[in-house]
Structure 1
Amino acid sequence: MFFHKDQSEMSAVYNEISTIPFSSEDNLESNSEKDSKASSPASGFQRCRVSTVILGLLAVVQLAVIICLALHIEANNKNVTEEKDELKRALNDSSLQLNSLTQGNDKLKKINSEIVARSKNLTEDRNELKAKLDDLVSRQNTMIEERDNLTRINADTQTSCRRISLERDQLRERLNILAQPGWIIFRQSAYYMSSTTKTWQESRDHCRSLGTDLMIINSKEEQVFANGFKKYMWIGLTDSEGEGRWKWVDGTPMNTNYWSENEPNGKTEENCADIKSFEIESSWNDESCSHKLNWICEMKLNP
């Protein structure tokens, strides 16, 4: 189809070119007719030969132009054919790539849908597991609180049991002590009057060996009770830690006193108190702690 089209174009060009010489020939003939009237027969022949040569040259030129046009058109047709084939190949490649991309896109869409579905399932599973975990943590915290409460209760119970056991043992010990001769109960205390004499410190050590201490007098009733033994005896009062600062053996200061007249008067030489003038209410006397006297122990029944 391209070949016939090129032939038609070449024929049109040839016809267009071929019109030019003939026009020139007509002009020459016209001019020759004019000149023939004025020139001789010899010059007319010469002009005819020149016209023939010119026509031959024009034919050669036309043929050369036609050949060039034909070659050019053939080259263009070849290039167009190659470009067309190349475009076809490119189109085929593009179609293949498009098909491949379409298939890949479809696969990706399918994979994405699967991932979305799995993600949804995983999210639901995660939320369910988180709820279970929160429930377990809550239950664990509750159990930990209960355990801690039970531990505290158990510790308190054990402490109470130890305290009760200790108190029981102390009560047994006191009962055993009180069952021995020489103990007298007055109000909330039990008292033991010695039958021998010792120094103030030795007397206190003996009381402590019995789980008691020397007598502490905090009321008039106790003072009258102590005088009733009618014994020259040590009581639990001393200023050995500081002159004039009299304290009971439990560390409490002396607030109520029953000193005899002009007592205490021994200064640094007499640092321990005793009951001496038991015929009167104010019977206390300061004495040298190294003297040996009877003593009285006091055991609190409700410490």
Structure 2
Amino acid sequence: MSYYGNMDIQHEMDREDDEEMNIYINVDPINSSHVRTETENSETKRQQTPQHTGSDTVRNRSSRASSVCLVLLCVLLLTAVIVLCVLINSKSTNCSEETHQLLTQITNLTEERDQLQIKITNLTEARDELLSKNMQLAKERDISSSNLELIKHRDQLNKEKNELSKNEWIYYKSSLYFLSTEKKSWTESRRYCTLRGADLIIINNSEEQGFVKKISAGVKVWIGLTDGDKEGRWKWVDSSTLTFRFWTSGEPNSYGGIDEDCAVNYEPGWADFPCNHLMQWICEKVILK
């Protein structure tokens, strides 16, 4: 094809383009504007496309970093859980061993306590038995001591009795009696008796009254009876009241208005006499058989 032929073809194409352009302009200017707007927007989007592409890259990197951190955190948590389980199992094992040891110690202590309790019981029984024996021995000792004292006292009394018997003391029913040969007042006669651990005789029954009559042979003798404290109230030298009375008929009488505050014994029985009269007397000393 020749040069001129090509030019004709190019010229024809340009003309067609101009006609199309005129058609679009004449038909809808709004659409043309819209087309321009869309074209501009397309251009803008094409210009902005590289910026959005960079942001997405950053997000992708952040996402990968977060995933890595999460994985590492999970690994750390898993490791911590494993370590914790190991520690718990170890502590549980240690606790079990310690519990077993404690139970063993408690069992041993309980057995020792029971053994000690048995020993305490045995010792208590032995103590009680010893106390009982000690009390029995103490009683026996006291009895022995009492018997020993009684024996000593009896021996002493027997010795005194023998000595007194040599000095004309007469033994009769657990008592020693002394009949004087000299004469004294009632007060002096009593003093003589008390200086020898005795006192003027106290007559308690008819047997003793008969014994006094026998040893005195009817002689008037002072006895331990007086109403010197209160007239008419006769009592013995040991302050006991009369239980037996052997007054001679008409006695006591304070004959002739004279105070007769002391009693004598003679053949008929008792009589009151002035205490300053001089008479024989009978001393009595009570001893054991």
Q: Pick the TM interval, shorter chain.
A: 0.7 to 0.9
Partner of 2:165: 178
The reply to whether residue 273 of structure 1 matches residue 263 of structure 2 is yes
Partner of 1:14: none
Structure 1 residues 187 and 125: CA distance shift in structure 2, 3 A: closer
Q: Distance in 2 between matches of 1:111 and 1:268?
A: 114
- Alpha-carbon offset, residue 195 of structure 1: 0.8
- Residue correspondence of structure 1 range 47-86 to structure 2 within 5 A: 53-86=40-73
AA paired with 2:179?
M
Q: Check conservation: 2:24, 2:32, Cα contact below 8 A.
A: no
After superposition, what is the alpha-carbon deviation per residue over 1:175-196, rounded to whole angstroms, capped at 9, x for unaligned?
221123x344556654322110
Partner of 1:215: 201
Q: Distance in 1 between matches of 2:172 and 2:43?
A: 175
- Alpha-carbon offset, residue 53 of structure 1: 4.6
- Alpha-carbon offset, residue 119 of structure 1: 0.9
Q: Distance in 2 between matches of 1:48 and 1:211?
A: 170
AA paired with 1:39?
Y
AA paired with 1:232?
K
Give the stretch that moved more between structures: 56-65 or 88-97.
Answer: 56-65
After superposition, what is the alpha-carbon deviation per residue over 1:78-126, rounded to whole angstroms, capped at 9, x for unaligned?
1221232123223223322321222122112111111111111111111
Identity within the alignment, % = 24
- Alpha-carbon offset, residue 141 of structure 1: 1.8
AA paired with 1:252?
S
> What secondary structure is seen at the aligned counterpart in 1 of 2:24?
coil
Partner of 2:224: 236
Structure 1 residues 268 and 47: CA distance shift in structure 2, 3 A: same
1:195 pairs with 175, 181, 184, which one?
A: 181
Q: Distance in 2 between matches of 1:83 and 1:187?
A: 129
AA paired with 2:24?
S
Partner of 2:113: 126
Q: Check conservation: 1:263, 1:285, Cα contact below 8 A.
A: yes
> What secondary structure is seen at the aligned counterpart in 1 of 2:23?
coil
Q: Given the two structures, how large is their TM-score scaled by the length of structure 1?
A: 0.74
AA paired with 1:105?
S
> What secondary structure is seen at the aligned counterpart in 2 of 1:152?
helix
- Residue correspondence of structure 1 range 1-303 to structure 2 within 5 A: 38-39=23-24, 53-180=40-167, 182-184=168-170, 189-228=175-214, 229-266=217-254, 269-276=259-266, 278=267, 281=268, 283-300=269-286, 302=288
RMSD: 3.1
> What secondary structure is seen at the aligned counterpart in 2 of 1:38?
helix
Q: Distance in 2 between matches of 1:88 and 1:268?
A: 143
> What secondary structure is seen at the aligned counterpart in 1 of 2:264?
strand
Q: Given the two structures, how large is their TM-score scaled by the length of structure 2?
A: 0.78
> What secondary structure is seen at the aligned counterpart in 1 of 2:272?
strand
AA paired with 1:212?
A
AA paired with 2:260?
E
Partner of 1:20: none
Q: Distance in 2 between matches of 1:65 and 1:268?
A: 168
* Equivalent residue pairs, number: 263
AA paired with 1:132?
K
Q: Check conservation: 2:184, 2:278, Cα contact below 8 A.
A: yes
After superposition, what is the alpha-carbon deviation per residue over 1:117-137, rounded to whole angstroms, capped at 9, x for unaligned?
111111111111111112112
- Alpha-carbon offset, residue 288 of structure 1: 2.3
**Ranges in structure 1 where 5+ consecutive residues have no aligned partner:** 1-34
After superposition, what is the alpha-carbon deviation per residue over 1:18-61, rounded to whole angstroms, capped at 9, x for unaligned?
xxxxxxxxxxxxxxxxx8693369x9999998766543322233
> What secondary structure is seen at the aligned counterpart in 1 of 2:160?
helix
Q: Check conservation: 1:184, 1:192, Cα contact below 8 A.
A: yes
**Ranges in structure 2 where 5+ consecutive residues have no aligned partner:** 1-19
- Alpha-carbon offset, residue 148 of structure 1: 2.0
Structure 1 residues 184 and 128: CA distance shift in structure 2, 3 A: closer
Partner of 1:3: none
